[in-house]
Structures are given as C-alpha cells and as structure tokens.
Chain A
Amino acid sequence: MMTPRRRLVLGAAVALLLVIVAIGAFDYWGMEAFTQRKLAALRQASPDVSASVSAPSPAAFKDIAGDPPHAELVAPAGAASGARAAFSPPLESQLPSGEFGDVIRRGREIFVDTGRAAPAYVGNSLRCVNCHLDAGRLAGASPLWAAFVSYPAYRSKTKSVSTFQQRLQGCFEYSMNGKAPPPGAPELVALESYAYWLATGATVDPKLAGRGYPALPAPAQGRDYTRGEQVYAANCAFCHGADGAGQRSADGFAVFPPLWGPESFNWGAGMGRINNAAAFIKANMPLGMGGTLTDQQAWDVSLYMNSHERPQDPRYSGSVQNTRSTLHDTDESMYGREVAGKVLGATGAPRPFKPSTVPGR
C-alpha cells in the first residue's frame, strides 16, 4: 500500500519525466519541422524574384552582369533580420608587422581610399568601402573574407572561371568605372593580401554565411519608380543628394558616394542590377540603420536608383539595343529601357578613361 504522501511524490516524478520527454521531442521534431519550413520558404523566395518580373527565364535569373556573382545573393536565413554571420575577421590591431603587414595595410588603404591610393585605375568618385562596409569586414555587405574563399569560381558574367585577382580587376573596370590593373599589379597584390588576411581562419567555402547580401524576398507589389522616388526623397537624398551625386567635403572628398551620374559605377557593375542593389540597400541602408526600410521600399528605391543615367558599359557593342540583348537581357537591368522619354545607356561609346583626380582624405 502506498501512503498518500508517497503517491504524491511518485506522481510528481512521473509528471516531471513527461515534461522532459516532451521538451526533448520538440527539440528533435519540432525544431526540425520549423527549420524545414524556413528552408522551404527560402527555396520559394528565389524563383519568385524572376517570376514577379515580366519575362522570367532561367537565363534572366542567372545573368548577373555585375560584381557579385549570383551565388553571393544566396545568404543564410535570418541574415536580413540582423543575425550576422558567425565568422569574424581578425582585428585591425592584430595586423602583422614586417613586409607582409605593410602590403596588407596598403591593401586596406586602397580599399578605403581607392581614388587616391590607386588613381591609375579609378575613373569615378567611389571607394571599395562604399559598398563593402567596415573596410570589407561586415557580414551581409559583401565582406572581403567571404569573397576571398569563394574563388576561383565560374562566373556567368565572364562565362569562364575567374580567380580572385581577376574578380578584383572586374571591380576596377565596372564599379570603379576605371581600368583593370594588369595581373600582378602591386594594387591587386595589396588588395588580395588584405582579403587573405581578413579571411584568416575562414573555411574555403563559397557558401560561407555572411557572403554577399542577405537574400531579399520578391517584392509583393512589383517595383515602382514613383514609389521609389518617394522612398529616395525621404531616406536617401539627405546624404546622397536629390540629384544622386552624393556630397563632398569642402576639399572635394566624396564622403557620400554618388549613386548615379558620371562619378558613379558604370552600367556593367553589379550594383546596376536591381536585385543586387535592393538586397544591399535592405541590409545596409540608410547607413547604420540597415533593415529599417521594408522589403518593398528597398525594391522600389533600387529600381529608382538604377533608372538614372550612368557611365556606359565598357563592353558596349556600338548599339544600345544590341548591348542590352547581349549583356543586359534581364528585368534586373534598366539599361536600354526608356525612362522619362530617354533610353538609358544611349550615351554613345564609353568615354576614354581618365585617371582619378579625386582628392584624398
């Protein structure tokens, strides 16, 4: 016979056991189900990007003419909500001394003050750090450490396997509207050394969390120029100017980068793709307030930014429509499209390269 007291103790013990088992079961199945749902949602998100635009084709989704190859857009779940990647690059204070350290430091200098440190190859007022925030360290802002461990890689843009150094050459040609430094140029060696050092401890893995920009779900309401214009006026113009030309300090240093116009990236750059720019904007703009714009606002303002004239694509074939059909045949590019009565990109042959005269800091 059990005393009532014993029965109570036994009952409590059984109840406790049940609770533990239930928690364990949720941990095992519940979390997995949750993760599965998340993955399914993610898988869905990507095709929607092309489905939402008028002429969806596998080619359109794959063709990213600009800087980040499309793989860089595939980011881990939750990255958009501020959960940045686990990898952290070494601290600046841990930079090695000696010859190698000097070259790494030189790479950093080129990265943050490109026009002054590498004038022979820069044709606009941009600096690498304008898009690769925190001197290439920040996850979700195309960090250098993640790019470094992603190459060599096949790129649809070049239809060939590119090394990291060749990838850097592309940045100069398109994003900097400049000239590719020759292979082995000290500028490329310095940048590669800096990227290598930042990647200290990272796994060689093109899917490293934090690479590129967090994937952005397709816009619920498509993308709209007028809405984008309003988003721009309210959230961007104060720094980048109503005319998109950015703002300079009194001595001419482009503190706020030009978003379009002659001093910005050219039509061949990755940022000229609406999906790339939308993902960057959502995660990182306004500066220090990433994630505050809605997905819709990011899409709309990206379309608005990329519906303005900018320097010609250096691969220009002699006609806008031909260049569009061979290089920009995607709804992610406004090149060759008519906006406000003008065909974007109809500015003739690329202007001859003029080295940067942008004053330093």
Chain B
Amino acid sequence: MTLGRNLSWAVFGVVLSMNVHADGATIAQKGAGSVAACQSCHGVAGEGVASAGFPRLAGLGASYLLRQLEAFAEGTRSNAVMMPIAKALSAADRKAVASHYASMPFGATAAMPSSSSAASRGTSAPKVSAVATAESAPAPAVGATLATRGRWSDTLPACEQCHGPGGRGVGADFPPLVGQSAAYLAAQLTAFKSKARPAGPMNLMGVVAQKLSDADVQEVSDYYATLPPGGAR
C-alpha cells in the first residue's frame, strides 16, 4: 500500500518536473499564446543574434534570467520587445523559460557572433591582453585594463572580479560577458548608466556604470565581444 502510494507520488513528481522542463523548452521553441518563440530572436541554441544586439541566453544563470524577465514584466527594465512578452508570460512560465535557458550549454554555438559584429563595425582588432602588453612598451588597451585590472584610482573594480576570469560568469547571479555582442554589452552599460535598466542587487552595476565614460563603455564591450568564449585566461 505504502509502497504503491510512494511510487505513485514519485511518478507524479517525475512527470511534474518533466512537465516544467518541457514548458520552458516549448515556450523557447514555439512560444506561448500571444508570445512568440524566444528562439526566433535569441537563436535556436539560445546564442543570440549579434548583429541585432539580441543577447545570448544559453548558459546564463537561472536567477539572473528570471530577474530580467521579472524586471521586463514590471517595466523596470525597459525594452519595447521584451516588456510585452514578459508581461504576457505567467510567473511560472517566466521561471520555466529562465531555467530552460540556464540549462542550455553555453558553448553551443559554432560561430562567434560577437566578433563578426565587432568586425562589421570596424572595431575587430582584438585587444591585446594586458599581461602580454606589460612585456613591451605600448600602453595597455583600455578595455583589457578595465576588464582585468579595473581602475582603482576611481575605486572601480575589474569586470572579472565579479564576472569571473575571462568574463565567463559566476554562479546563478553574475552573468557571463563573453559570448555577448559588443552592441548588446554597450547598450546595457549605457542603460545602467542612464538608469533605463535597474542596476540589480545592491546597485552593483549602477555604481560601476557611473564610473565609465562612453569611450570606456565601448572599449570594454569590444574587449569582451572579441574574447574567445571558452579559452582566455
């Protein structure tokens, strides 16, 4: 009796969890009601579309993704396309789709969309890493310095002190920067600066963005857009 009941609960649990997972995937691939399939803008592998500035979602942290969807739904993160979509999704849908993209492999894409975008804007020259430049005379590139050293005269930590080595992200809350296009990264930093996007927990990005000039924003965005996703140390 007890065994049977336990078993049926277990089966129910498995079905339920599969269901939740399937929901996220379904929304991503087919949409839900009035909501278009996520992949129509964010790519089949969740890799984003660099030329349009649509961000990569695959492999980003679940709580980070969910926080963004909630911010779109509440209207605190402003974006004409994403606000109505997030609003139309139920709270459970938002959670499911966030988990779905969080579980997708980060390196699923063959090509590096961001570098081609940077190339098309004529900024493709890969920034020499600060470690390498220390060897020879020329001043290190601003983007590489901000990413790996920060600017402590301005109490500005390096990007990688929170986003991890190579900007590959940390945990569920600190998203990878590498693998995003320069256009997307620059737009976000600018939005943090102008407060069009909420600065996130503890106002962390608000404090950072206020210390970046427009040129800094461009340089550091280009740096991450041209960094190989898996490799760079």
A92 located at the interface, meaning its Cβ lies under 8 Å from any Cβ of chain B in the complex: yes
CA distance A287 to B133 in the complex (A): 26
Residue contact A239 to B165, C-beta cutoff 8 Å? no
Q: Which residues of A contact B2 (CB under 8 A)?
A: none
Other-chain contact of B134, A105, A134, A239, A288 (Cβ < 8 Å): A105
CA distance A97 to B135 in the complex (A): 7
A158 located at the interface, meaning its Cβ lies under 8 Å from any Cβ of chain B in the complex: no
Within 8 A of A (CB), among B177-225: 201-202, 204, 207-208
Other-chain contact of B164, A134, A253, A286 (Cβ < 8 Å): A253
Given A92-B140, A93-B133, are A287 and B161 neighbors across the interface (CB < 8 Å)? Answer: yes
CA distance A251 to B171 in the complex (A): 11
Measured as residues with beta carbon below 8 angstroms from the partner, the interface class of chain A is 20 to 34
CA distance A48 to B12 in the complex (A): 63
Given A92-B140, A249-B170, are A287 and B165 neighbors across the interface (CB < 8 Å)? Answer: no
A247 located at the interface, meaning its Cβ lies under 8 Å from any Cβ of chain B in the complex: yes
Q: Which residue of A lies closest to B140 (CB)?
A: A93
Residue contact B164 to A92, C-beta cutoff 8 Å? no
Q: Which residues of B contact A235 (CB under 8 A)?
A: 202
CA distance A361 to B135 in the complex (A): 20
Residue contact B169 to A249, C-beta cutoff 8 Å? yes
Given A239-B162, A250-B169, are A286 and B134 neighbors across the interface (CB < 8 Å)? Answer: no
A334 located at the interface, meaning its Cβ lies under 8 Å from any Cβ of chain B in the complex: no
Measured as residues with beta carbon below 8 angstroms from the partner, the interface class of chain B is 20 to 34
Q: Which residues of B contact A298 (CB under 8 A)?
A: none
Q: Which residues of A contact B169 (CB under 8 A)?
A: 249-250
B150 located at the interface, meaning its Cβ lies under 8 Å from any Cβ of chain A in the complex: yes
Q: Which residues of B contact A286 (CB under 8 A)?
A: 202, 204
A95 located at the interface, meaning its Cβ lies under 8 Å from any Cβ of chain B in the complex: yes
CA distance A2 to B223 in the complex (A): 76
Q: Which residues of A contact B170 (CB under 8 A)?
A: 247-249, 255-256
Other-chain contact of A290, B130, B139, B155, B201 (Cβ < 8 Å): B155
Residue contact A92 to B156, C-beta cutoff 8 Å? no
Residue contact B173 to A238, C-beta cutoff 8 Å? yes
Given A288-B207, A360-B233, are A249 and B165 neighbors across the interface (CB < 8 Å)? Answer: yes
Residue contact B139 to A287, C-beta cutoff 8 Å? no
CA distance A290 to B133 in the complex (A): 30
Q: Which residue of A lies closest to B158 (CB)?
A: A134
CA distance A253 to B233 in the complex (A): 11
Residue contact A255 to B139, C-beta cutoff 8 Å? no
Within 8 A of A (CB), among B153-167: 155-157, 160-162, 164-166
Residue contact B156 to A288, C-beta cutoff 8 Å? yes
Residue contact B130 to A253, C-beta cutoff 8 Å? no
Q: Which residues of B contact A92 (CB under 8 A)?
A: 130, 134, 140, 149
Q: Which residues of A contact B135 (CB under 8 A)?
A: 97
Residue contact B134 to A287, C-beta cutoff 8 Å? no
A282 located at the interface, meaning its Cβ lies under 8 Å from any Cβ of chain B in the complex: no
Q: Which residue of B lies closest to A139 (CB)?
A: B152
Given A92-B140, A238-B202, are A288 and B157 neighbors across the interface (CB < 8 Å)? Answer: yes
Given A92-B140, A92-B149, are A249 and B202 neighbors across the interface (CB < 8 Å)? Answer: no
Residue contact A249 to B140, C-beta cutoff 8 Å? no
Within 8 A of B (CB), among A338-361: 360-361
- Which residues of A come within 8 Å of B, CB atoms? 82, 92-93, 95, 97, 105, 133-135, 137-138, 235, 238-239, 247-251, 253, 255-256, 286-290, 360-361
Among all A-B residue pairs, the 8 with the closest Cβ atoms: A134-B152, A361-B165, A249-B164, A288-B157, A255-B170, A247-B171, A255-B164, A361-B233
- Which residues of B come within 8 Å of A, CB atoms? 130, 133-135, 137, 139-140, 149-150, 152, 155-157, 160-162, 164-166, 168-171, 173-174, 201-202, 204, 207-208, 233
A-B contact pairs, 26 of them (CB 8 A): A92-B130, A93-B133, A93-B137, A133-B152, A134-B149, A238-B173, A238-B201, A238-B202, A239-B162, A247-B170, A249-B168, A249-B170, A250-B168, A250-B169, A251-B168, A253-B165, A255-B161, A255-B164, A256-B170, A286-B202, A287-B161, A288-B150, A288-B155, A288-B208, A361-B165, A361-B166
